[in-house]
Amino acid sequence: MKLLLDSSSSLLFSLLLAQLPVFTSASPVPQRRPTDMDKLSNQTKNLMKLTQELLKEHAFDSDVEPHRFRSLPEMSNRSANDLNNLELKPTLSQLHADLKLYEHHFEWLNRVSKKHHHPAVPKLVEMIREMKSLINLLHRHMLRVEAPRLTPATPSLPPHLPYQFDVLQSSHELLQHFKLFCDWAYRAFISLKPKVSAVQ
Amino acid sequence: MPGLLSSPVCLTVICFLSWSLHPSCAQIWTDEVSDVQYGRLGSNVTLACGNSQIRIPVVWRLNQSSVLPWHNMTSDGRLILLNVSQSAQGNYNCYDNRGLLLHSINLRLGHPPGLLSISCQVPNHTHVRCSWADFVKTFLPGQYNATFRGSGTEWRPCIVDVTGRHCDVDHPPFWQPIHTLRVTETNALGSRTTYVNIKLYDLLKPDPPESVLVKEREGYPTRLIVSWNFPSSWPLRDAFPLVFQIRYRPHGSIYWSEIYSEESHVEIFDALAGHLHQVQIRARDEVNADSQWSEWTPLLLVRPWEVHSTTNPVEEPDDLFTDYNFPFNTKPETSTPKSHNPIHDDEGNLGLVILLVLFSVVILTTVLSLIFVVWMRQRRRDHATKQELTSMVKMKSIPI
């Protein structure tokens, strides 16, 4: 009995002591749960970071644009002012279609890079995985707000790249475009955040 | 003689002569005003004495002086200036041998336009300003025409200002990898177009934050409150967040401390009590890591709260710092980055109260538990003593 009592008291004391750091470290203000838009914007930023890393690691400084990719999402018609007046559903649908198109392009680049044993392959694989995850997340959110899914455009990809230099050039072009797309998409998601709360 | 003058033939001749001479004289004066001739520096320039094929000897003067630059004269009265320099510029007049002004030319010398050195500023996502300067000075007035386009888009005008030194594009297609600016300079000696590729995304550089205010916090000798406004040229919209870097140091120190914030105010908790502090802020686009930091705001000087503190923030010229004699002042500039630390005073205080309450509850529970345990032990001990006594009594009562 004595032993039991001793051990129980020690246990109780230990438990209380163990609770101390939990109590002290826990934020007293309840954490706001991240919304879908938070997740979408965070994931887009993550993708943008990966893209920037790839661009830095495989630097290819060129002011000349090769224009190999004719079917990338059109960015020339997107201005800073548009971000002010975005409509939730059409924007989500458009971003989804754009991301699907980029996914096709990057999968192609991954295949070509593998063939040429390009050192960027592991990071490209990671990028494609992140991209797919973002597309799925976006699709789930589209279902929630009943945004229609657009028919994805057919990508027109270069027939074949005979040299390592072509792969490098294509990779640079694609990553440059995608970085800018991510920048715009991120801004679109954070602009749409108040509109989502209005819909829900 | 009067008869001669009054004869109709003579009158007709006089009329004809006056009609034919007067306009030619007027023509010379008109030419003198309007005839500007341009020539290339370092080349040979030929000045003709009017349009007519003059066969009489002529005299040339430069700015009314008979001293002319290195030259040749042709038999038809043309002046050939050889390897002209700036000093050959001026008003050239040619006279006949009777001293009558035949023709007047204003000679201006320079170079045809060359390539331009172009740089662009992008203070936000909706405006681009490109400025240029001649690589080689032309010395002649030029006209500029500028156009701008994103990759694969149509050329659109870049509006050239009245000074002709820069042009502006509003609402450019920003999210494009490369943009091209085309500037054509035209002067009297020719025309030249300069193309330049620019990356707006990388050139994005906000203006510095505005209305920066640094205040002491009353009752706290190591705290300073810094507040500022977004640059007025930056769009105040959700889509365009800025990140701010705040740096501060005791006046005279070479070590900066840094704080990053996305808010427009911050509290410094580790100011050096009793010392003047220098504070500066700069801004950068929060999304675009390739963009550039703005320039720093002017140095602000402020002293944290003291018992008899009366200091107000003052703007300080940069050179004041070097005059100030502070003990540690000889090493190169370094900085100590700090994590993002925005002010959440109310939340912080509430949190502290809740934390203290929780902690008190835990302490109380612990103390109560200990008391309970001690009490239980004591009780058990008493019980054991009682049992021992009872058993002793029992043992005593047992007959041996």
pLDDT in tens, chain B (400 residues): 444 444 444 444 433 334 433 333 333 333 344 589 999 999 999 998 886 565 677 889 999 888 888 888 888 888 999 999 999 999 999 888 888 888 899 999 999 999 999 999 999 999 999 999 999 899 999 999 999 998 878 899 999 999 999 999 999 999 999 999 999 999 999 999 999 999 999 999 999 999 999 999 999 999 999 999 999 999 988 899 999 999 999 998 999 999 999 999 999 999 999 999 999 999 999 999 999 999 999 999 999 998 765 555 555 444 444 333 343 333 334 455 554 444 344 444 566 777 787 878 888 888 888 888 888 888 877 776 666 666 665 655 555 4
State how far the Cα of B82 lies from the Cα of B80, in Å rounded to an integer: 6
Question: Widest CA span of chain B, in angstroms?
Answer: 199
State how far the Cα of B264 lies from the Cα of B248, in Å rounded to an integer: 16
CATH topology classification for B28-110: Immunoglobulin-like (2.60.40)
Break chain B into its structural domains and give their ranges: 28-110, 116-203, 210-346
State how far the Cα of A24 lies from the Cα of A19, in Å rounded to an integer: 9
Chain B contact set for A195 (CB, 8 A): none
What ipTM describes this predicted complex? 0.80
Check: CB of residue A96 under 8 Å from CB of residue A139: yes
pLDDT for res B3: 43
State how far the Cα of B332 lies from the Cα of B328, in Å rounded to an integer: 11
How many of the other CB atoms lie within 10 Å of CB of B372?
12
Break chain A into its structural domains and give their ranges: 36-57+85-200
CB under 8 Å to B300, separation ≥6 — which residues?
B212, B214, B278, B279, B280, B313, B314, B315, B316
Kind and range of the H or E run holding B388: helix B345-397
| Helix A164-199, helix A36-57: angle, nearest 10 | 160
Two tokens at B134?
A: 């001649």
Nearest to A187 among B178, B287, B289 (CB): B287
State how far the Cα of B14 lies from the Cα of B211, in Å rounded to an integer: 83
Q: What is the CATH number of domain B116-203?
A: 2.60.40.10
Superfamily name with CATH number, domain B210-346: Immunoglobulins (2.60.40.10)
Cβ distance of A29 and B153 shorter than 8 Å: no
Cβ distance of A183 and B175 shorter than 8 Å: yes
CATH topology classification for A36-57+85-200: Growth Hormone; Chain: A; (1.20.1250)
- Would you say the CATH fold of B210-346 matches that of B116-203? yes
Cβ distance of B177 and A177 shorter than 8 Å: yes
Is the pTM higher than 0.80? no
Chain A contact set for B180 (CB, 8 A): none
Nearest to A76 among B152, B370, B376 (CB): B152
pLDDT of A58 > 90? The answer is no
For residue B344, the distance in angstroms to the closest alpha carbon of chain A comes to 11
